[in-house]
Amino acid sequence: MEKLVLILGGNLGDREKLIVEARNSLHQKLGPILSASKIYETAAWGGASEGNYLNQVLVLETGLEPLKILEATQSIEQALGRERIQKWGNRTMDIDILYLGNQLIDEPQLTVPHPYISARKFVLVPLVEVLPDFIHPIHQLSHLQLLQQLHDDLDVLEFNSSS
């Protein structure tokens, strides 16, 4: 069994409901959720989408192989209405694999750790909440250290549910 770290996010539809549905599906398909960050709201990153995103980091335990994990996350995205039209474009749900234990994976369809962890405040803020001292296997810095040296002025705000 490995610790699997994912980030969920989307900017279309009922964003909070979609996060809850994704979380439930991930639990069913991949394994138990060990911890979850708060849900955060952020402006779009990367320039190709509009509207604020909701994001959440989950830590799960799984026995699945990396490409089976990818297959499961993509099937959940699709079930929740994801259409892959434009890179970094609008989406109902995006599920990115951030880490699988300390594995280094470099396959055409999957790179782990996720290559943009250290460049995205909307990823590092929830990672610091759930795994502040985890050492990134490539950068050899903790999430807290990566966040402290980050040059990203994007607001990452705790989401307050309207329900």
Catalytic residues: 82, 91, 94, 96
Cis status, amide bond into 113, omega within 30 of 0: yes
C-alpha of 39 from chain center: 11
Cα separation, 147 vs 19, whole angstroms: 24
Identity of residue 103: Q
Cα separation, 156 vs 126, whole angstroms: 9
Cα separation, 74 vs 36, whole angstroms: 20
Which of the 8 DSSP states describes residue 119? G
